[in-house]
Structure 1
Amino acid sequence: MTATETPTIDSKIQDLCQAIVTDTAVQHARDQAEAFLADEASVSLYREVMNTGNRLDRRHRAGEEISDEEVAAYEELQAKSDANEGIRAFNNAQQVLQEVANKVNAYVMKTLEKGRVPAPEEIAAASSGGCCGGSGGGGCGC
């Protein structure tokens, strides 16, 4: 089956995408993300925290020793990041957008698995644990 053979599905996907675009929570999250991306100082701080954290993590995984000074410097950088309103808003926006994507994916996957539209309880049960269930219980680091 190709996309050209599924006009009903294509139409419903377009409807879903339109509903997502017009959702006020999604609009607000996108606005927050755009505001963050326009704030060069916040973006720079965010990148510095991410790059430093990744670098320290790689070194730790490689068995290298991380000095107390390096840890303290990273913690200070992280505290600055945590206090930055733009970064906090961006992180919240990312969470909202990821939750929407996860919910859409969960419904589609469960529909394909069951061959019917799943009840909200089935989606809630499926997302309340395990890998990428959002509860942190999975082995994937979620």
Structure 2
Amino acid sequence: MDIRLCKENDVKACGDTYPKVFNEAPWNEAWTTESAFSYLNDFYHTPGFMGLVAVENEEVIGFLFGVKRKWWSGDEFFINEMCVRADQQNKGVGKALMDHLIRMTDAETVSLLTDRGLPAENFYKRSGFKEVERLMFLSRDV
């Protein structure tokens, strides 16, 4: 497995992978390859974007997309999306992506949002992330 910076032509492969992961349990979302590509392509074109792809046999098997941004306490790298192909989960791909990010970023902190009670929560906590008790995520339908 090779971990490298995401190139624009990798976004299509990431968009193909995303629905295959997030349309299944435990997320049960309803992505199409087109909507996933559009969603991820927006991140690619965001100022401060950095993406990593895990590649094996010339196929993207996982990716991490985020953005470096200024914060009062120093630069923060915010992980927008992290995705590992279902057949590659629990094989160290996510850990390799996260370790690579931590080694190469010059930001003071790495932050993210994730769902409670899903396997991702435990993965991130094992990777050294801590819940910020003072924060609350709010949303409403319009």
Settle same-fold status: TM greater than 0.5: no
Larger helix fraction of residues: 1
Whichever of the two has the greater Rg, that structure is 1
**TM-score (structure 1 length as normaliser):** 0.26
Larger strand fraction of residues: 2
